[in-house]
Amino acid sequence: MWAMISDLLQRLEPYLQFPDIIRHIVDITVVAFVLYQLLLLIRKTRAEQVLKGVVFLFFIYFVTKGLRLNTIAWILENTINFGITAVVIVFHPEIRRALEQIGRGRFFERSLLIGDDKDRDTQSIVNGIADAVANMSKTRTGALIVVEKQTGINEIIETGVKIDARLTRELLENIFVPNTPLHDGAVVIRGDRIAAAGCFLPLTENPNLSKQLGTRHRAALGITESSDALAIIVSEETGVISMAQNGKLTRYLDMDGLKSVLRSIYYKNANDNGPFSFIKRRSKND
């Protein structure tokens, strides 16, 4: 296999000759773009503070080398030698998120809804979720709803009670009725079906989060930090509707804003004609 690839590259080599200046420009541009994306990825995360510490250690190392403080330089040098392993461990969540974002590229996208009635199904789902959230907000019924997107969250579904039922407003509201077995956990929606209820979500460790926000908000941020899922929260104390996406929290959401976000998710996937759009995410039988 590798011999075939090597032979192919040798055959193509005459056609891949570029002037040195173009090669250097492309090389620098790609590296700069990758570094910029990495900085965006870790911005406002714990990894940002760790990165500052690493940069500071490198600065101290070069200063000690310049001043010939050999003992300190030796300690720092040996510490840096094990830095790659430490970086992989410390930056594990960010590395995972970066690989997931690569996997969410257009080529790998999958459709949430398949069928001849995509538009009708999509509108029905959007209205069902939004109406349930609006009613629970009026009655101050606490709720946490997670909408799965491109990144699968089967490990979250496994923590709850599997339902696999057609999504309806009535079913959503009934799950979150106070003092029922499933009302304290999260509901996971996959396509046009409620996959599970009573699910446990990872809590965010963001130290800058307001102390006024409760467990539901922290859990919503936690699942959106580790996946591309959308989380909708209804506060039990105030009835305020909030939304978490990409590790960011939006509070005091109105119905127009919520429906707009849901449409952007479902219509985008329902109209996707990419190479993986044939993957069936919706069962024909309830």
The DSSP secondary structure of 254-284, one letter per residue, reads -HHHHHHHHHHHHHHHHT--STTTT---S-S
Decide: 132 and 173 in contact? Cβ < 8 Å.
yes
Mean pLDDT, residues 105-113: 53
More confident residue, 100 or 196: 196
Q: What angle do CA 167, 97, 24 make, to 5 degrees?
A: 135
Average pLDDT in the chain: 80
- Write down the pTM of the prediction: 0.63
Pairing label, strands 248-250, 241-245 = antiparallel
Alpha-carbon distances of 176 from 155, 159, 233, 276, rounded to whole Å:
22, 17, 12, 34
Torsion of CA 155, 156, 158, 162, to 10 degrees: -140
pLDDT at residue 281, rounded to an integer: 38
Mean pLDDT, residues 181-185: 90
Task: Identify the structural domains of the chain with CATH numbers, from first to last.
Answer: 2-108 (no CATH), 118-270 (3.40.1700.10)
CA 44, 47, 53, 54 torsion-angle sign: negative
